Amino acid sequence: MYLADEAWPDLESYFESESLALVPLGSTEQHGPHLPESTDHVIAESLAREAAARSGYLCTPTVNVGISRHHRQFPGTMWVSPDTFRAYVRDLTENLTYHGIDRVVYVNAHGGNVDALREVAKDLHADETCYALEWMWDESIPELVDDLFEHNGPHGGPKETAMLQHLTDLVHDDRLADARDGGVRDIWSAEGTNRHGAATFFDARDNSDNGVFGDQTDATAEKGERLFEAATDQLVRLCDWLAAREPEELLPEPRV
């Protein structure tokens, strides 16, 4: 069920019987020479809407711009500050609680959003506003990701490339070799990324000339379909688990 497509009487019926919502969040940022800047929010919205269609839970419109300042050197990247992002997500979530939602899954597809979403979720839980969880699609299926790709890469790599090949016709397949050769296959072994236990980089441009990591030539639409199906299954299972919890199970533990 997609909130923006429904009339208010139908939404009223949903809120009378269910109290869970999926909120997709991504980014609008560079993903190398081969992927669109919509990559993260396309993945997040596609997973959230598919999980909602399969389960009957509510999916909200997507937050398309996130915390992406570390990609700012590449043309077109958009970003907001962490403070702005946290405040916006909190307000959006409290909007849902006004209608009766008390449990939320942040369907996230951008690593830069993770810390802020978890912080918002902690605050919402601490003041008993609602129970929210940050869910990152690739972290739900790590074994499959590792099995499918030898050089995965945390950004613009084959897992995101394969997902976009499956979901859209926006991938520049003729640029996959250029993306691999102009980027870095393994960021964690790249020279200058770590000194004596400290990460010594701040921006994607510090480590990769074209902003991406991994071997993009290893991606196929068939692999993307396997990723999408497996991640959707995990998301539906998470929603079912959360919906089945009694309200008192979702409250903070009492003070010692």
Compare 1 and 186 and report the one with higher pLDDT.
1
Tell me which CATH homologous superfamily contains domain 3-250: Creatininase (3.40.50.10310)
- The tokens of 166 are what? 């499956």
What mean pLDDT value characterizes the chain? 95
Candidate from 36-40, 118-122, 205-209 with smallest mean pLDDT? 205-209
C-alpha 201/C-alpha 198 separation (Å) is 9
pLDDT of residue 199: 78
pLDDT of residue 188: 66
Report the 10 Å Cβ neighbour count for 91.
Answer: 9
DSSP annotation of 60: P
Task: Considering only the C-alpha atoms of the chain, give the largest distance between any 2 of them, rounded to a whole number of Å.
Answer: 61
Reduced to 3 states (helix: H, G, I; strand: E, B; else coil), residue 197 is coil
Per-residue pLDDT of 95-104, as tens digits, reads 999 999 999 9
Pairing relation of β-strands 20-25 and 198-199?
unpaired
The kind and range of the H/E element at 106 are: strand 103-108
pLDDT of residue 1: 95
| Exposure string over 24-52, b if 16+ CB within 10 A, otherwise e | bbbbbbbbbbbbbbbbbbbbbbbbbbbbb
C-alpha 256/C-alpha 244 separation (Å) is 27
Average pLDDT over residues 108-115: 97
Does the structure show a pLDDT above 70 at 190? no
Confidence of residue 117 (pLDDT cuts 50, 70, 90): very high
Does the structure show a pLDDT above 90 at 207? no
Does the structure show a pLDDT above 80 at 178? yes
Question: Concatenated DSSP letters for 220-247?
Answer: -HHHHHHHHHHHHHHHHHHHHHHHTS-G
Average pLDDT over residues 206-220: 94
pLDDT of residue 192: 60
Return all residues near 53 (Cβ < 8 A) that are at least 6 apart. Answer: 1
| pTM exceeding the 0.75 threshold for the entire prediction | yes
Which sequence spans correspond to the domains of the chain? 3-250
pLDDT of residue 191: 62
- The tokens of 155 are what? 């950004």
Reduced to 3 states (helix: H, G, I; strand: E, B; else coil), residue 125 is helix
Confidence of residue 83 (pLDDT cuts 50, 70, 90): very high
Phi-psi sector, 114: left (phi>0), alpha (psi -120 to 50), beta: alpha
Question: Residue 2 in contact with residue 52, Cβ under 8 Å?
Answer: yes
pLDDT of residue 49: 98
Per-residue pLDDT of 7-45, as tens digits, reads 999 999 999 999 999 999 999 999 999 999 999 999 999
pLDDT of residue 189: 65
Return all residues near 166 (Cβ < 8 A) that are at least 6 apart. Answer: 221, 222, 224, 225, 227, 228
Per-residue pLDDT of 230-246, as tens digits, reads 999 999 999 999 999 99
Write down the residue that tokens 């509510």 correspond to. 58
Return all residues near 250 (Cβ < 8 A) that are at least 6 apart. Answer: 102, 103, 125, 131
C-alpha 41/C-alpha 47 separation (Å) is 10
Per-residue pLDDT of 128-164, as tens digits, reads 999 999 999 999 999 999 999 999 888 999 999 999 9
